[in-house]
Amino acid sequence: MRSILIPTDFSDISMNAVKYALEFFKYEKYDFYIMHAYQDDIHKETPTRENIADVTKRIAEKSAEELDHILKEINEFSPNPRHNYHTISANNILIDEADKIVDEKNIDLIVMGTRGMSNDRKITFGSQTLQVLKYVQCPVLAIPENQTYTQPKHVLFPTNYLIPYKRRELKLFCDMVAPYRSVIDVVYISKSEKLSLRQEDNQLFLKEVLCKTEINFKTLDSKDVVTAIEHYVKDHPIDMLVMVNTRESFLESMLYPSRFDKLSMDLKVPFLAMQNIKRDV
């Protein structure tokens, strides 16, 4: 049985991510951990030494109540006997608590809601989701704000073939899309179609271990990775974007300082970010 962590701040965006995850994974057995880390909420109230205990107690109680409310909602709209639900309320910051739970519960996937560029044109992902993507060693499925559930019939998998992919994460991805018989477009974006020996080996590995479904291997003639991906999503019936975050990946170049300020993708489809490196916070 796989395990999924869903951090929540009790917003409509995070609740939409919960509903999306329950629908997406309805065919298989999963343990869902709904988590709220409330340390930032305490600091927002600027407590004094005299009242910090009272403030912490009040916020902790509110957190627990809100999580209980989410469980009631889940049981109303998704009474799925294949799913087990757990709640975690923690006096901690999000990335530290998420990292802790990922290790303790052997979490396979984190699901989070994201705010679109209409809310903040400086970044594509909400700041919390971005922090998890950057620092928590676990695949992340980001659900755009107001995203209604759509079966992932057509998936875009951009790659530069420079990295050896992890079998565990490729298997997770394949298990996710298997019930939907998804068509996968593996797209190499480059000004040159010629691959190095290293790239050829990694492409061969993908061909051997990637999902037993329809897979199209394509090449796009472009130097601008972000724009190429954005146009591909707009021009094709893409239901999900899948990328790998590692030191020589497209996602790495988009999320980190060298390209971060230039990130302009207004993602309108769920985005699965697979992790492939260990980072120091």
Q: Read off the pLDDT of residues 59-88 as tens digits, 9 standing for 90 and up.
A: 999 999 999 999 999 999 889 999 999 999
Which pLDDT band, with edges at 50, 70 and 90, does 191 fall under?
Answer: confident
pLDDT for 29: 94
pLDDT tens digit sequence for 229-250: 888 998 999 999 998 876 545 5
pLDDT for 184: 97
**What is each CA distance from 6 to 10, 46, 53, 73, 112, in whole angstroms?**
11, 27, 27, 15, 6
Copy the structure tokens of residue 32. Answer: 């869902």
Q: What domains lie within the chain, and their CATH numbers?
A: 2-144 (3.40.50.620), 154-275 (3.40.50.620)
Which pLDDT band, with edges at 50, 70 and 90, does 260 fall under?
Answer: very low
- CA geometry: angle 116, 119, 125, nearest 5 deg: 40
Percentage of the chain modeled with pLDDT above 70: 86
Order of strands across the sheet that contains 215-221:
83-90, 30-37, 2-7, 109-114, 140-144, 271-275, 240-245, 154-159, 183-190, 215-221
pLDDT tens digit sequence for 13-59: 999 999 999 999 999 999 999 999 999 999 999 999 999 999 999 99
Which pLDDT band, with edges at 50, 70 and 90, does 223 fall under?
Answer: confident
Which pLDDT band, with edges at 50, 70 and 90, does 160 fall under?
Answer: confident
Copy the structure tokens of residue 206. Answer: 């993908």
pLDDT tens digit sequence for 41-50: 999 999 999 9
Neighbours of 247 (CB within 10 A): 12
pLDDT for 116: 56
Low-confidence winner among 72-76, 107-111, 220-224 (lowest mean pLDDT): 220-224
Which pLDDT band, with edges at 50, 70 and 90, does 171 fall under?
Answer: very high
Rounded CA separation 30/149 (Å): 18
* CB 108, CB 240: distance < 8 Å: no
Q: Does residue 153 register a pLDDT over 50?
A: yes
